[in-house]
Structure 1
């Protein structure tokens, strides 16, 4: 009798827990892609124009870019931009300093409500002094035409320090240098083959993502 009662109890408990797990399931599912086909195409054009010194962040909320002045009307002013985003935000890759933003306008931007939205967003960027460029969505683009508008904004706003290479410095442990490319500590390796077989050299600990090596003791940079 006691065994039957225990079995019944565990069955009951299992049913309760199973029911709870079913109730906890939330009504969300994973999207298959972050950007549409047209946005992906334009993203790669921007990436080719901007180069490795610029990081391109897609679909960024305005509240992640702009702060709202405190005081009377803060909540309403925050609400006006809280549900709005820009298609692409371009930042300096080294410092993540904001450089400019880009909007890819499809046919929906011709609606009255979208025109009002664009007017507000343009005013926010203008007041903050951050360039915002609009490009009409197309089936194909002339890269030169886009670059002619993008490049001047990047040159005007990108910090000079962003193009300065990181200099190797001594690490805390063992006096080994840090990688001049990615900043990670370097480690001593021994060449196993080739003309320099048996010789030691510094190699980045971030290998294989970073393949920077330095000679010992001269530490002349060599990139594989």
Structure 2
């Protein structure tokens, strides 16, 4: 049993610090994180269920995907400024191929907040980003009810448009190919594994964010 002199009374400051997660007795701060209950809003959850009926197992639905995780900016002067433009922005839903998780279609659910000027400026930027990256973007007005058939038709129409994007042939500069996606010089590499092990090829300097290749 500790003696009276060994017991340290807790002051008001110590009690207040504990309430906010700081315990001076342990010498470390407790992390204050808690699980959010609104990962998807009621409107987003309602539309998510419609998407499940529309795509079934043909596509994977990814909610709230950061644009910075979806798009890249090739290394060049001023590229950081372009990265900053998409920082802290996301697309409501992203449809991906199940086998490869290759992005196929972005979907924005437009509620009443999209009528505000600041929001419209943000929407114009997002549309420009998707267009530059040649990834289709479908905008759907938020309503109380949706037609699964209509949503399915819109998804298939946008997917078809994405598949018809023209292929860009690589250009060469002094015998070195320019990456058709990033517009920068490619570097010569040698496959280290797989059936093409030992084969030489040109690869993008932005690998693995860009996996464009050109045969040597």
Per the shorter chain, which TM-score range? 0.5 to 0.7
Report if aligned partners of 2:138, 2:158 keep a CA contact under 8 Å in 1.
Answer: no
Report if aligned partners of 2:65, 2:94 keep a CA contact under 8 Å in 1.
Answer: yes
Q: TM-score, normalised by structure 2?
A: 0.62
Of 76, 84, 87, 2:81 maps to 76
Report Cα offsets for 1:40-59 as digits up to 9, x if no partner. 11111111111212110000
1:118-197 → structure 2 map (5 Å cutoff)? 118-154=123-159
Shift in alpha-carbon separation, 1:102–1:21, aligned structure 2, 3 A: farther
Aligned to 2:99: 94
Structure 2: runs of 5+ lacking an equivalent: 15-21, 164-216
Aligned to 1:210: none
Report if aligned partners of 1:108, 1:114 keep a CA contact under 8 Å in 2.
Answer: yes
Report Cα offsets for 1:54-107 as digits up to 9, x if no partner. 110000000111011212212211111011000000000111011101000111
Match of 1:95, SS? coil
Match of 1:101, SS? strand
Of 34, 39, 55, 1:34 maps to 39
Q: TM-score, normalised by structure 1?
A: 0.60
RMSD of aligned alpha carbons:
2.8
Report if aligned partners of 2:66, 2:91 keep a CA contact under 8 Å in 1.
Answer: yes
Say which structure is richer in helix: 1
Match of 2:144, SS? coil
Report if aligned partners of 1:55, 1:91 keep a CA contact under 8 Å in 2.
Answer: yes
Query: How many Å apart are 1:138 and its aligned residue?
Result: 0.6
Query: How many Å apart are 1:22 and its aligned residue?
Result: 8.3
Report if aligned partners of 2:137, 2:158 keep a CA contact under 8 Å in 1.
Answer: no
The number of residue pairs the alignment matches comes to 152
- For the pair 1:108 / 2:113, whether they are aligned, the reply is yes
Report if aligned partners of 1:53, 1:94 keep a CA contact under 8 Å in 2.
Answer: no
Shift in alpha-carbon separation, 1:20–1:157, aligned structure 2, 3 A: farther
